[in-house]
Amino acid sequence: MSRSLTVSRAAQLVGVSRAVLQRMIGAGELAQSEGLVDVDELLRAFPDARVEQSGLLENVTRIREEAFGRRVREFVLPSPELLSQRVLVQSEELAEMRRHLQAYHELVAATIELLDRRPASAALAEETREMLERGLAQVLGSESDNRLDAMTDMLKVVSANVVVRPSGREFLVQGNDSILQAGLKAGLGLNYGCAGGNCGLCKARVISGETRQILQSDYSLSAAERAQGYLLLCAHTAVGDMVIETLEAGSPADIPEQELVARVRALQPLGPNTMLLHLQAPRSARLRFLAGQSVTLGLAQRGGDLHATWPIASCPCDDRNLHFHVARDAGDPLAERLFAGAVKSGDTLGVHGPSGDFVLGTEMPPRAVFLACDTGFGPVKSLIEHAMAAEAVERFSLYWLASRPDGHYLANQCEAWTDAFDEFDYHAASDDDVVRGGSLLAKRALDEGDPGTSRYFIAGPQAFVDAAARRLLRGRRAGRAPVRDHLLTALAPS
């Protein structure tokens, strides 16, 4: 019986994030072979890990629920059909293991009997008998090992693990999600378009594993593609653990420009001068973007369309619902129309984009430090949600400067992150001088973390961004390492 687990499954089992296990593997604290972690190794590294203590599913669900909005909250069991298919796969594995076990038992019993009947020498017979009896005892295993195995099997029933080649990234398919939905929720930059089986852009090759079609698709794969194992990720779910081959977007250059029309779902004041604009894309034309990117919105009206480029404040793991934090700004006619009540729920806006390179990047150090000022919190929120979904970062530090009377208009969200994650610290500051505030926040961020193991993201008014960046690049004091240029990413929405 295989006693190896994928990194995702191992992380789920001991109740830590995948980033923690990846760091331990990188540091040689946990052995990994061909992408798999040995269960005994895992227990050695986490001797206190017990099914009851890890919280397992509840823990993962709680973190996701608290980390994201209601939109991606639902954690549901797979459909009865999918569950029975997974149980069947598990039962077949179990039946095969039983057959093997029975055969080994019979072999050992026959050997012991043979030794009794025709002993080569008393000492050898005794030694061999002891060795076989010890082996038999080990087959039964300890109670905690049995529980761990049982829990691993149970996890295989409620979720399937997907490994993506060539990147080696992996994610779990839960509930009734398609493979595409699950990959996006896990923060992967999978290629796709309509998410409805029409465009063929989510085509990927299955290297191993069983799938089940959950959506009728209009797009037809050629006979050659089907023979090679290609399928549409948006139209299938995973029955069991699987390996697929597909390319992922790693940088803004990998994301095509898109045009779509989205409907205003809600306009919600977050303060007297801050508005949450919630747009919903059609089911068949969603926006593919990387967290932290912006789009240009267009409002058609008599006398000429109004346009504005605003950063997206929501996670690409929910690609239909786009959020924007809009500040009242006399120099921005579209923002003024929103605050004047000229745009209502149900109206449509053109969406063009995405644009910008304020993104996480593929190689993240253990700690991500975010410095935001006012509505610069919007794109930072998108990055944080994405980093949480992708489990790309071990430790988060968020510094949020409020320079306007609206203050920290989503402080509850930040406190929810702090409660949900042990490794999330949130620092709120207020100062109407954004240059002074930016410099002080940057100094604090330097004092409270090691620039050698951190990546810094700054978003807010240009003066804030410049002041914070200057301070970070200068370092704490003479002789101390400053933040290196390539570990600093900034956005100053105009």
> CA nearest 481: which of 438, 453, 439, 452?
452
How near is the Cβ of 360 to ligand FES at its closest, in Å? 23
Residue at token pair 């990994």: 32
Contact 248, 189 (CB under 8 A): yes
232/467 with CB nearer ligand FES: 232
How near is the Cβ of 288 to ligand FES at its closest, in Å? 9
How near is the Cβ of 175 to ligand FES at its closest, in Å? 19
236/367 with CB nearer ligand FES: 236
How near is the Cβ of 214 to ligand FES at its closest, in Å? 12
217/293 with CB nearer ligand FES: 217
Return the structure tokens found at 257. Answer: 């420009």
Half-sphere exposure of 451 (CA within 13 A, CB side): 23
Give CA–CA dist 394/396, Å, rounded. 7
Give CA–CA dist 94/156, Å, rounded. 13
How near is the Cβ of 178 to ligand FES at its closest, in Å? 8
Among 234, 276, 312, 343, binds ligand FES (CB under 6 A): 234
237/403 with CB nearer ligand FES: 237
Give CA–CA dist 417/207, Å, rounded. 37
Identify residue 280 by its one-letter amino acid code. Answer: Q
How near is the Cβ of 190 to ligand FES at its closest, in Å? 9
195/238 with CB nearer ligand FES: 195
What mask, x for binding ligand FES by CB under 6 A, covers residues 248 to 287?
A: ----------------------------------------
Give CA–CA dist 386/290, Å, rounded. 9
Total of residues contacting ligand FES (CB under 6 A)? 13
Identify residue 494 by its one-letter amino acid code. Answer: S
Work out the widest C-alpha separation in the chain, in whole angstroms: 105
189/193 with CB nearer ligand FES: 193
Q: Does 402 bind ligand FES (CB under 6 A)?
A: no
How near is the Cβ of 196 to ligand FES at its closest, in Å? 6
What mask, x for binding ligand FES by CB under 6 A, covers residues 178 to 217?
A: --------------xxxx-xxxxxx---------------
- Bridge partners of 268? 276
192/289 with CB nearer ligand FES: 192
Bond into 166 cis (ω within 30): yes
Rg of the chain over Cα atoms, rounded to whole angstroms, equals 27
Among 232, 326, 441, 483, binds ligand FES (CB under 6 A): 232
> CA nearest 177: which of 211, 207, 218, 146?
211
Residue 103 dihedral angles phi and psi, to the nearest 5°:
-60, -40
How near is the Cβ of 246 to ligand FES at its closest, in Å? 11
Which chain residues interact with ligand FES by CB under 6 A?
192-195, 197-202, 219, 232, 234
